[in-house]
A and B are shown apart, each in its own frame.
Chain A
Amino acid sequence: MVKRIVSVAICVAVLLFIYAPILLLVVYSFTDSNVIGKWDGFSFALYADLFRDAEIMQILFNTVWLALVAALLSTALGTAGAVGIFYSKRKFAKPLQAASQIPVINAEIVTAISLALLFSALFLYRTYFSLIVGHMVLCTPFVVLSVMPKLKQMDPNTYEAALDLGASPSQVLFKVVVPQIFSGILSGFMLSITLSLDDYIVTAFTKPPMFDTISTYVYNAVKNGTNNSTPALRALSALIFIVMIAVLLVINLRARKPAQKEAAK
């Protein structure tokens, strides 16, 4: 019993630490006050400000747009790459897999400056191209890592069976391989979206000068000391927290149920 109480206490304490800042921001997003700690009565004023702020709306749009494009391209490139690596001989697969691990292990700042060096040499520094490539460098290896285990789980004979039944190699790929690794592709895509949305450092080094994502905008607002003068940002954060938490809870709880049933068999 004591053990149980201690267990619960530890969990609650850590959860409190994790969620206190988020909770604080969410609570104070419902009052029309410039600083946190000063309650000026319940109000949706900050949210109203937020949606009227064209600049923030543009940034929100930029962030989502960038994440979608980068994730789509990364998923396509990474899935093809994983399939290719999986079916290649070891001597080709090994170096590819090793190179693929570099962005995963590397410090983000090193990835960022390496891209800055490359793109300045190519005269493409701080363009949309460098930005999207930068995000792809971050995301694609994770797509490969997501898809690879699904390929390994696949019964290798299903590929041969499909050929045997008359399907051409490309038909086999789309009718037999892709459906079987689809869950891996999907998780690679979702992972890419979150990695792209989360990124600051690579974005900062590759983005065009007048382009901002939520990350760069908020960081710069803190840097320039302007974040307190735009309380609408608080509403933006609060909104993202609420939406993300809700979405994640729903997706994960739904995904877990059938998985548990399967495991119980």
Chain B
Amino acid sequence: MNEQKKEEMIIRLVNVSKVFDETTAVENVSFYVRKGEFITFLGPSGCGKTTTLRMIAGFDIPTSGKILLNGQDITDLPPNKRPVNTVFQRYALFPHYNIYDNIAFGLKMKKVPVTYRNEKGETYTKMQKLTRREIDEKVKNALAVVDLEGFEKRSVSTLSGGQQQRVAIARAIVNEPEILLLDEPLGALDLKMRKEMQIELKEMHRKLGITFIYVTHDQEEALTMSDTIVVMKDGCIQQIGTPTDIYNEPANAFVADFIGDSNILNGTMVDKLTVRFCNRNFRCVDDFERNEKVDVVVRPEDIEMCPPEQGMLVGRVVSVVFKGVHYEITAMVGRSEMIIQSTQSRTVGELIGMNIAPDAIHIMKKELTSNRYDGYITKKNTVVFGDGEFECDVTTLYPGSHLDEDGYLITAQGEKIDLTDADVSVEVGLTDIEISDNADEGGARGHIVSLIYKGDHYQYIVRTEENEEDFVLDTEDLWNENDYVSVKIRPENIHMKLKQEIK
């Protein structure tokens, strides 16, 4: 960070965490906000964005970490002593005051230094309350900013939601705060009103020149209004960047999924600037280690449809929804689902080809914690995935169930279920896979295509021949690349989930 940037930093959070009765709302968050910036915290509910805002406002005190305002530590300063004002989601206007008194509330609390000159000609300053005239003037100006001139004497209950929101904004900005905090301020408004207010807020930000810190769960709102977006999840920051950066270069699959619509696919880097997904190799512009498991993100509008014979991918259309500006077409490519946005329509059942340009393929490092597969249950109550067949415990699909003599599953409620061909998602931990020389011993077979030494163990990737499915495993044993091995997994280590309820 260079010196100039540091100077214009207005607020800075350093390793801030907040724990409420054992649940961590915000975990070790650090970031700074530049003076005059419009910054937005974006994330699903419960991601810690509102708690972060409340800590800046002073309503919640961080469990650990520091908050610096213009370089000064304000971590424990009560809210009434902070030069920061908040616009609340549900307005929080005082119902017992009229509009004037609501807006004047903060001004009446305020004391400002006034300079006097005594008989000796010495100057001295005294802290004084604002005069009635000054307050009148400021209230009038604030009402003008929010387009509510002449509303002074109205009572809160006579205003519409949008008008109340404007009063709430006026009540905050009239105090000329250094930072304006907005906690989902448009959340309670209807769509049309919300769009209007977005533009107005942005305009207000431009005119007033103060820093806006905005909280929302609406990604479109964040993209429209912000200079900078902070994406949060589970109390942690996922990515900080401009709207364009966040949209075009999401840092991980979560961000990609949360911002805009996207197809997220499992892929593997098979060569330099080449990624393999949906059983096909694609050229791409991001480079990662060979054989690394990656998340591939493709925006629906970046998939071009073409006749099947010309497409890199071929899929069958399963649904078409008209969305006003475009059609949203869902196609199945093998067992993967692709969402396509296009101005052209297709009919359900049709075969289509799809092309994706290299720069439309966004590749993200995968935080690999387990192997995930799509599989199905056989007649013998085994599970097929990753080009192999494995023994498994199907009773884990239904808590409290058991198998009868004929191999049917009996649920805890006594229902009899035939699991044959049921689609399941399978998860296997990295340390739960064993490999062996004996080709007949395991459920699947393949060559070791990669081995990485990770300090105290090796990480291997075993790739099958038929569909090039990968098994990633951690073990201390040493094997060689290109060894042909079989993959063994104990039934209790195969974690399965039904994709659909069996009828």
Contact = CB atoms under 8 A, between A and B. Distances in A.
Q: Are these two chains actual partners, yes or no?
A: yes
Interface of A: 155, 157-158, 160-169, 171, 175-176, 179-180, 182
B59 A163 contact: yes
11 contacts: A160-B59, A160-B79, A160-B88, A161-B86, A163-B78, A163-B79, A164-B85, A165-B85, A165-B105, A167-B105, A179-B94
A169 B80 CA distance: 8
Contacts of A182: 96
B96 A167 contact: no
Give the interface centre of B58, B93, B95 by most chain A CB atoms within 10 Å: B95
Interface string B50-62: 0000000111000
Contacts of A155: 90, 92, 95
A161 B92 contact: yes
A163 B81 CA distance: 8
Give the interface centre of B81, B92, B110, B175 by most chain A CB atoms within 10 Å: B92
Interface in B138-183: 171-172, 175
Contacts of B81: 166
Given A161-B92, A162-B94, A163-B59, A168 B80 contact: yes
Contacts of A157: 88-90, 92
B88 A165 contact: no
B452 interface: no
Give the interface centre of B59, B80, B172, B175 by most chain A CB atoms within 10 Å: B80
Nearest to A165: B106
Given A158-B92, A160-B88, A182-B96, 11 more contacts: A157-B92, A161-B93, A163-B78, A164-B57, A164-B80, A164-B86, A164-B172, A165-B105, A166-B81, A169-B78, A180-B94
A176 to B, nearest CB: 6
Q: Looking at chain A's contact residues, is the secondary structure mostly helix, strand, loop, or mixed?
A: helix
A80 to B, nearest CB: 19
Chain B residues touching A, range: 20 to 34
Give the interface centre of B79, B85, B93 by most chain A CB atoms within 10 Å: B79
User: What are the nearest 5 A-B pairs in CB distance?
Assistant: A165-B106, A157-B92, A166-B109, A179-B96, A161-B92
A161 B109 contact: no
B87 to A, nearest CB: 9
Nearest to B109: A166
Nearest to A163: B79
Contacts of B105: 162, 165, 167, 175
Contacts of A165: 80, 85, 105-106, 109, 171-172, 175
Nearest to B110: A166
Interface string B238-255: 000000000000000000
A157 to B, nearest CB: 3
B60 to A, nearest CB: 10
A114 to B, nearest CB: 38
A179 B97 CA distance: 9
B109 A158 contact: no
B92 A166 contact: no
B249 to A, nearest CB: 36
Contacts of B172: 164-165
B94 A167 contact: no
A166 B109 CA distance: 6
A180 B95 contact: yes
Contacts of B90: 155, 157
